[in-house]
Each structure stands twice: as C-alpha cells, then as structure tokens.
A = this chain, B = another copy of it.
Amino acid sequence: MKFEERLRDRDAWSIGDGCSAGRVLDLLSTKTVFLVVRECFYGTTRFDDFVARIGTSAPAVSRALKQLKAAGIVAPVLYREPGSRARDEYRLTEAGQDLLPVFLSLMQWGDTYLQEGRPPLSFVETDTGRPIRVRVTADAAPETMCDDIEIRVNPAWWRG
C-alpha cells in the first residue's frame, strides 16, 4: 500500500489513537469477546450456551457480554419459556451483524494457513450453494447477508 503524496513522510504526521482499527481493538479486546461474537453469528443467544460452546467460564462470558452491550454490538432481548421467568437472550444488533467481514476474514485466513487445507466448516450462499469469500475489491459485487449464508461441515471433521 502507498500513501498519497503528502502522507509519504510518516514521521511528519500521526493520527494517533484516531485510527479506526485501533479503536475497534479496544472494543474487541480479548479472545473471549471475539468468540462470543462468533457464537452470535452461529445463532447462540443464551448465557449458558455461550459458556458451554465457547468452553470458557461464566464470568468470562458475563464480562464479554457486558462489553459487547456497552459497545452496541449485542442487545438483550426478553424471552419467556413457559413455566419459567422472563430472561434476556443476546442478539447481534445491526452494528454487530456488520462484524461479519471481520469474523469471516479471520476464519478464512485460519482456514488457509492453520488447517493444512482442511477447513472444518465452509460457508455457502443458501440459495445457490456458491461458496462465500471475503474480498477486498472496488467492484460493486452484491454482498451476501448473514441470513443468506449456510454453514456446512467438512466430512473429515464430522463424527456425529
């Protein structure tokens, strides 16, 4: 990547902590926070399910959800099981859903470089079955939304 003319001398300017990437990393500061977001994309909504599926402790999830609520990435939604009291479940806000490229690009890189070519899961367009990728492009390619993505499992990983 090249800087435009007046930015070439990197010692002559700074945006300091104004950098968007840096700011995001202050919100998504820990691995647990990221994994909660991942589980949200996978459809997990309830506290104990986050704990079980991430394989972490309840306080870690509690702290992560607190941060994510504060950041406007997840929002609590009341629900009521018959015969139980009302509780909160946690759902991605629009801002949260817009983290999809972050999530998928991490996944994509890991699939390429950490799985020896055998990604456990793959993501395809529900309607067409075409594989989804994250692309850096200037083209106005039609973007696939969360709701139109289906997750499939690599047979090599599948043991019912």
| B103:A101 contact, CB within 8 angstroms | no
| B102:A106 contact, CB within 8 angstroms | yes
| A101:B138 contact, CB within 8 angstroms | no
| B138:A132 contact, CB within 8 angstroms | yes
| A134:B101 contact, CB within 8 angstroms | yes
Q: Is A57 among interface residues, defined by CB-CB distance under 8 A?
A: no
In Å, the complex CA distance between A10 and B160 comes to: 11
In chain A between 26 and 80, which residues have their CB closer than 8 angstroms to a CB of chain B? 26-27, 29, 31, 34-35, 38, 41-44, 49, 52-53, 55, 72
Contact with B along A120-137 (1 / 0, CB 8 A): 110111101011111111
Given known pairs A101-B136, A135-B101, A160-B13, the reply for A153 and B6 (CB within 8 Å) is: yes
Which chain B positions have C-beta within 8 A of A2? 43, 126, 147, 149-151
Which chain B positions have C-beta within 8 A of A139? 139, 141-142
| A111:B1 contact, CB within 8 angstroms | no
Among A12, A38, A139, the most chain B Cβ lie within 10 Å of the Cβ of A139
**Which residues of A are interface residues toward B (Cβ below 8 A)?**
1-4, 6-7, 10-27, 29, 31, 34-35, 38, 41-44, 49, 52-53, 55, 72, 95, 98-115, 119-121, 123-126, 128, 130-139, 141-144, 146-147, 149-153, 157-160
